[in-house]
Amino acid sequence: MPDSRVPRRRRYLVCEPRHFAVQYAINPWMHPDEPVDVIRALDQWQALVDTYRAHGHTVDSVKPVPGLPDMVFAANAAVVVDGRVFGSLFHAPERRPESVPYEAWFKAEGYDVYHPESVCEGEGDLVPAGRWILAGTGFRTTREAHSEVQEYFGTPVISLTLVDPYFYHLDTALFVLDDENIAYYPEAFSPGSREVLARLYPDAVLATRADAMAFGLNSVSDGRHVFIPPGATDLAGQLADRGYVPVPLDLSEFQKAGGGIKCCTQEIREIRS
């Protein structure tokens, strides 16, 4: 068992939750009649940004747009691999306008952005994992989009079917620890997809439903530090036993919209030298 792991500096893209609210329901977590504490959300989000920077990571920000309450969930806007940007075509009409300000940001930074023809929700369902991209489907991103992703990046795409509406995006049921391993909640997946994951990752960290419902699989790892919700206690213990360093971060206000740490974090992956 490794007693230490090496972090890799990351570049993250985020969006301040200035206009965060739950104004509609597009997943089981969302209840428009329950109020959102925007001040608390801003404080939690700022703690996330400060913690990333304190661990040596670069954090860029997209300016929030009034009327787009879910724009804070930057991970859904795109997936970036080797400096190439595959944009989003959101399933819900309410979220489709979010693509415009994110595309503008990427273009201002000198990137070209690919427009998918099929419904695709960025890193919500597209998880780069070393040699391949793990791709979720079942509730949002379509299998046709998986094919587009493979053609665009030239990277093998592993399609995985989600079956539990509480885990409507892949990044609520699985996250990458490093280039070789993942953590996931098996029951979020179809039987065939569970078999695929077991074959690909025989040493994966398996989460309980309690940890998954605490958004423990919506965590972010830099290869050593795992930025994780404080409620995912069993998962944090397993990670510590594997040599990772859990860094608890409370983003509970965002769970009212079905989001967490990873949902608020887009990783910009440049070409690695």
Catalytic residue ranges: 169, 263
CA 121 to each of CA 90, 117, 125, 170, 266: distance values in angstroms, whole numbers, following the listed order: 6, 12, 6, 10, 12
Measure CA 193 to chain center: 19
The tokens of 64 are what?
Answer: 């929030």
User: What DSSP string runs through 115-138?
Assistant: --SS-B-GGGTEEEETTEEEEEES
CB burial of residue 71 (10 Å; 0-12, 13-18, 19+): buried
The DSSP symbol for 77 reads G
243 beta partners: none
